[in-house]
């Protein structure tokens, strides 16, 4: 359909998959198509995308990852220090602010997430925002404040191993996740462990993650991820019986979607480290192409040795 | 026995029995939201824990309460490595599993089991089962507390409606009273389905 002759106010017409300006329009607004064809940053993608091409040899260097959680024990040997430790606190007027804090963990959960990310992407720049606050402040408002700060600070990857069931926060949370998406920030969010309506993992703008049960005979968690063709959960990753860092320098075995999410966040850091120009859409596409259950034509034909 | 304990004790007892756990507890948010309160306990930590308070951000319970996510922790080696010895009443478990008590769109508490022996279903299945028990407990808690919350903090419109109905029914009796009550019932059926 040629929209150029329609009464639509849109300056952009789509014809047979091609983009062109309406007749008579000298220029298009920036959000439309300032030049044609637009420069595709990942235009050099190979015909066959492999894990090696996506993140082989990368260590996450140059990528800033932010963990919104209980705080992170920066002294834990698995974590190996954090480059920034922030916390959400309420000032005297009750206004929530994100201020520098100590690299400590109130429960251990944030240290576990940070440890997984550091294990997958040891070279990344890691920051902690403690959103488990003392007192009566609800998690929802604190989460919003922490997420807003991380998006405004321009982090490349944000790990959210948490969710909220508060419907009143849905729109604001969705707006923040959309802002992150358009700013080239990948938000990795844990799916809820129970079948309840919660956010932000259900938003299309984030990478939603759940756990997989180890399929290997020895019970060890597979170190790979899987694509889920039936969203809203998009990816499965190791999160069952995984050994994670915890408080006081200890290691424990833990199960939950919380621990699968930082694995994917770490993978995103590797991808963005090797291909810093990629958009969140392209990063998610690479996660899909490198998933263990996505077979490429070459693999199906039995001549693929490069996953 | 308090109303909360009466409601949640069956869930705690069920969780402990299903998982063959050394202990189980239901911890709910206190009135001001700043504390967690042991509402019901069973097993090794029973003692006099019911009614005991602790800060709302304490340990795994504090995190599950705020994040709404259930989790399972193994190999705790009996140490207080999650800063939550208080949530176990001083008992130091080797394993801990926690699920949120979700009431409508907020988390009102946490159901925990400690040191289970029946874990053959698999980690995720165990988490799912505990979540189902927590869901059942939260549903009962919700129904009861919706009524009590409305009684303590009634909607002004409801208060006004009650007053008007009371006024309309006062001073009448016999057949006229029956007629007016029938009108109100019809109205309620029409409005509430």
Of all residues in chain B, the one with the smallest CA distance to A259 is B71
How many structural domains compose chain B? 2
Chain A, window 130-149: residues with a beta carbon less than 8 angstroms from a chain B beta carbon: 131-136, 138-139, 142
Q: Are residues A152 and A290 in the same domain?
A: yes
Does residue A186 form part of some domain? Answer: yes
Q: Are residues B81 and B169 in the same domain?
A: no
Average pLDDT over residues B22-43: 87
* The predicted structure's pLDDT at residue A5: 35
Distances, alpha carbon A152 to alpha carbons A31, A183, A263, in Å: 20, 9, 24
Average pLDDT over residues B142-166: 69
Contact A194 B84 (CB under 8 A): no
How many structural domains compose chain A? 2
Q: Quote the domain boundaries for residue B37.
A: 3-152
B119: which chain A residues are within 8 Å (Cβ-Cβ)?
A: none
* The predicted structure's pLDDT at residue A46: 84
**Better-scored residue on pLDDT, B6 or A82:** A82
Of B55, B102, B135, nearest to A134 by CB-CB distance is B55
Distances, alpha carbon A307 to alpha carbons A54, A220, A272, A303, in Å: 10, 20, 18, 11
Q: Are residues B76 and B121 in the same domain?
A: yes
Does residue A127 form part of some domain? Answer: yes
Distance CA A133, CA A222 (A): 34
Q: Are residues A22 and A149 in the same domain?
A: no
Does residue A281 form part of some domain? Answer: yes
Mean of per-residue pLDDT scores for chain B = 81
* The predicted structure's pLDDT at residue B94: 87
Q: Are residues A75 and A160 in the same domain?
A: yes
Q: Are residues A96 and A4 in the same domain?
A: no
Query: Which CATH number characterizes residue B55's domain?
Result: 3.30.450.40
Q: Are residues A27 and A96 in the same domain?
A: no
ipTM of model: 0.74
Mutation for testing the A interface, residue in B66, B77, B85, B135 having most A CBs under 10 Å? B66
* The predicted structure's pLDDT at residue B19: 93
Q: Are residues A270 and A127 in the same domain?
A: yes
Inform me whether the pLDDT recorded for B167 exceeds 90: no
- Token couple for A244: 């994670």
Q: Which residues pair with A228 in a beta bridge?
A: none
Distances, alpha carbon B9 to alpha carbons B4, B27, B86, in Å: 8, 11, 20
> How distant is the Cα of A289 from the closest Cα of chain B, in angstroms?
26
Query: Which CATH number characterizes residue A285's domain?
Result: 3.40.50.200
User: Per-residue confidence of chain A (307 residues) as pLDDT tens digits?
Assistant: 333 333 333 333 333 334 444 444 445 455 555 566 666 665 578 878 899 999 999 999 999 999 999 999 999 999 999 999 999 988 888 889 999 999 998 888 999 999 999 999 999 999 999 997 765 556 788 899 999 999 999 999 999 999 888 888 999 999 999 999 999 999 999 998 777 888 999 999 999 999 987 555 555 545 789 999 999 999 999 998 889 999 888 899 999 999 999 999 999 999 999 999 999 999 999 999 999 999 766 555 555 444 4
Q: Are residues B132 and B162 in the same domain?
A: no
Q: Are residues B123 and B137 in the same domain?
A: yes
Q: Quote the domain boundaries for residue A119.
A: 60-294
Q: Are residues A188 and A274 in the same domain?
A: yes
Average pLDDT over residues B109-138: 88
Of B73, B83, B123, nearest to A252 by CB-CB distance is B73
A250: which chain B residues are within 8 Å (Cβ-Cβ)?
A: 77, 79, 81
Q: Are residues A6 and A85 in the same domain?
A: no
For chain A, first and last CA: distance in Å? 41
Residues of chain B with pLDDT > 90, as a percent, come to 23
- Token couple for A11: 């300056």
* The predicted structure's pLDDT at residue A17: 38
Of A109, A192, A213, nearest to B124 by CB-CB distance is A213
Q: Are residues A167 and A268 in the same domain?
A: yes
For A142, residues 6+ apart whose C-beta sits below 8 A from its C-beta are: A88, A96, A131, A132, A133, B66
Of B34, B83, B105, nearest to A165 by CB-CB distance is B105
Average pLDDT over residues B2-12: 85
> How distant is the Cα of A256 from the closest Cα of chain B, in angstroms?
5
């Amino acid at each position: 359909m040629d929209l150029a002759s329609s009464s639509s106010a849109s300056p952009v017409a789509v014809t047979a998959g091609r983009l062109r300006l309406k007749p008579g329009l000298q220029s298009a607004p920036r959000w439309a198509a300032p030049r044609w064809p637009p420069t595709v940053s990942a235009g050099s993608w190979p015909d066959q995308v492999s894990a090696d091409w996506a993140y082989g040899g990368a260590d996450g260097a140059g990528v800033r990852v932010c963990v919104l959680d209980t705080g992170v024990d920066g002294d834990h040997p698995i974590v190996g220090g954090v480059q920034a430790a922030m916390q959400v606190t309420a000032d005297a007027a009750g206004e929530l602010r994100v201020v520098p804090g100590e690299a400590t963990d109130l429960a251990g959960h944030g240290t576990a997430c940070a440890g997984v990310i550091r294990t997958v992407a040891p070279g990344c720049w890691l920051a902690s925002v403690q959103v488990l606050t003392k007192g009566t402040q609800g998690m929802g408002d604190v989460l919003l404040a922490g997420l807003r700060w991380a998006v405004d600070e321009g982090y490349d990857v944000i790990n959210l191993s948490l969710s909220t069931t508060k419907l009143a926060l849905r729109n604001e949370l969705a707006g923040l996740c959309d802002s992150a998406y358009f700013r080239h920030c990948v938000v990795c969010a844990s799916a809820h462990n129970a079948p309840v309506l919660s956010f932000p993992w259900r938003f299309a703008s984030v990478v939603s993650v759940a756990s997989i049960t180890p399929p290997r005979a020895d019970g060890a968690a597979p170190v790979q991820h899987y694509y889920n063709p039936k969203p809203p959960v998009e990816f499965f990753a190791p999160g069952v019986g995984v050994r994670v860092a915890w408080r006081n320098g200890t290691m424990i075995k833990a199960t939950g979607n919380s621990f699968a999410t930082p694995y994917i966040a770490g993978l995103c850091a590797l991808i963005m480290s090797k291909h810093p120009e990629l958009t969140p859409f392209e990063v998610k596409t690479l996660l899909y192409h490198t998933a263990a259950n996505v077979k490429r034509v070459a693999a199906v034909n039995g001549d693929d040795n490069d996953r | 026995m308090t109303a909360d304990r009466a409601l949640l004790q069956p869930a705690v007892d069920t969780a402990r029995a299903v998982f063959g756990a050394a202990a189980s507890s239901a911890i709910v948010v206190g009135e001001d939201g700043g504390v967690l309160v042991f509402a019901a306990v069973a097993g090794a930590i029973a003692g006099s824990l019911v009614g005991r308070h602790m800060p709302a951000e304490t340990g795994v319970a504090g995190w599950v309460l705020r994040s709404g996510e259930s989790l399972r922790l193994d190999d705790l080696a009996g140490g207080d490595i999650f800063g939550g010895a208080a949530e176990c009443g001083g008992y130091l478990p080797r394993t801990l599993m926690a699920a949120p008590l979700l009431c409508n769109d907020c988390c009102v508490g946490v159901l925990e089991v400690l040191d289970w022996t029946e874990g053959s279903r698999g980690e995720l299945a165990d988490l799912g089962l505990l979540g189902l028990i927590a869901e059942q407990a939260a549903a009962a808690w919700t129904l009861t507390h919706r009524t009590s919350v409305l009684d303590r903090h009634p909607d002004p419109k409801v208060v006004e409606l009650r007053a008007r109905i009371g006024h309309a029914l006062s001073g009448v009796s016999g057949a006229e009273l029956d007629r007016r009550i029938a009108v109100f019932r019809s109205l309620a059926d029409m409005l509430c389905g």
